[in-house]
Structure 1
Amino acid sequence: MPARLFDRQEVLRLVEQDMAQLVEVLPRASYEQAHLPGAVHIGLRELDEEAPRQLDTRRPVIVYCADQLCDLSPRAAARLRQLGFSRVYDYMPGKADWLAAGMPTEGQAVSAPLAGDVADRNVPLSTVDQPLDDALDMLDETGHRFAVVVDDEEVIVGLLYHEDAAAGSEGRVGDAMRPGPTTVRADAPLAALLERMTRADVAAVPVTDPEGRLLGLLEREHLEQAVARLPETAEG
């Protein structure tokens, strides 16, 4: 049975260290829009003819499709085993997981910036147990209006606004933070995201990976500037 991969970092390791070959089995139009770096396109019905021609049976092969509910990659992995490929992996979370984590891609869509591309990666971090006056000093020193409150694994648990920290300077960050903030994926289109933030009157949103870990922070005023610079064909 082909091995299942759930960790995108393991995909990277296999490609970089074991020279694994990446194969996307989604329709060609999806592949041409965006695909994992170095991946080749082989449709499910083309495997018998194209796999022996394009792939090396001596090297590992990683196949992927849209997401964990898509059955194309497990079917492709099973067929590759029958065709003589001994080290076959199915990247189960697929391209949706890769894009949502802001990982590098190739394809036609690369030129259009997404949420993960414009998010501030140097946002101040805080914890629920940090004294509020320390967090306030950090915000003042960095000039930021927000700190992202995270746990030990940098999973987001809240947002701390400068005005909230200033109003409750005697307590802890957990007492003043705004819990459960709305987050967005790294592959969110900018114009649509700005429309949502404006409609909901949201000043900032954290950008997270699929595990809820922080990738960066998007403030609405900065997003407005990024959208204003977009060519008309890239908006939305």
Structure 2
Amino acid sequence: MNSAVAYFSGRLAFETDVADVARGIDGVVVDARNAESWRQGHVPGAVHLPTAEIAERAAEVVGRDVEVVVYCWGPGCNGATKAALEFARLGYAVKEMIGGFEYWAREGYPVEVDGVVERRSPDPLTAPVSGVACAC
């Protein structure tokens, strides 16, 4: 296998994007941000488990037999990478949701705030305004 194939295959083994998560995954989505950030809005159905608490609380929050998908703020933040590393150290199958919550919200996927789920318009600079996925 050439080095480019190995590199990109490796990335796809441990990363997913917001469109893939929105289509549904066999696993649990974990928001690794702090409580204030969680309250500002999060992916509906996500579990809140800040990175600093993963080692201590993962077993009580997430089953061992499911894949974990972690996210943090966005591409300018490596919080999801740190959270994924914590889960990996504990032996979980884990992926990082690239783009994070920023791209989840910017692409117009549902956002939960105070128990209410709302759908916002996609940012025309980051997602097709028609609502149709880029199909990549």
TM bracket (short chain): 0.7 to 0.9
TM-score relative to the length of structure 1 = 0.46
Could you say which structure has the larger radius of gyration?
1
Relative contact order: is structure 1 or structure 2 higher (C-alpha 8 Å, sep ≥ 6)?
2
* Map of 1:60 onto structure 2: 67
Q: Deviations over 1:147-201 (max 9, x none)?
A: xxxxxxxxxxxxxxxxxxxxxxxxxxxxxxxxxxxxxxx3xxxxxxxxxxxxxxx
Give 1:76's aligned amino acid: A
Which of the numbers 7, 15, 18 marks the counterpart of 1:4?
Answer: 15
CA contact (8 A) 2:22 2:109 kept: no
Deviation for aligned residue 1:62: 0.4
* Map of 2:88 onto structure 1: 81
CA RMSD of aligned residues (A): 2.4
**Where does the alignment leave 5 or more consecutive residues of structure 1 unmatched?**
117-185, 187-206, 217-236
CA contact (8 A) 2:29 2:69 kept: yes
How many residue pairs end up in the alignment?
120
Deviation for aligned residue 1:102: 1.1
Runs of 4+ residues deviating >6 angstroms: none
TM-score relative to the length of structure 2 = 0.77
Q: Which structure 2 residues correspond to residues 207-218 of structure 1 after superposition, within 5 A?
A: 208=124, 210-211=126-127, 213-215=128-130
CA distance in 1, matches of 2:31, 2:90: 17
CA distance in 1, matches of 2:117, 2:47: 20
1:48 to 1:76, Cα distance in 2 relative to 1, 3 A: same
What percentage of aligned pairs have identical amino acids? Answer: 28
2:28 pairs with 1:21: yes
CA contact (8 A) 1:33 1:109 kept: no
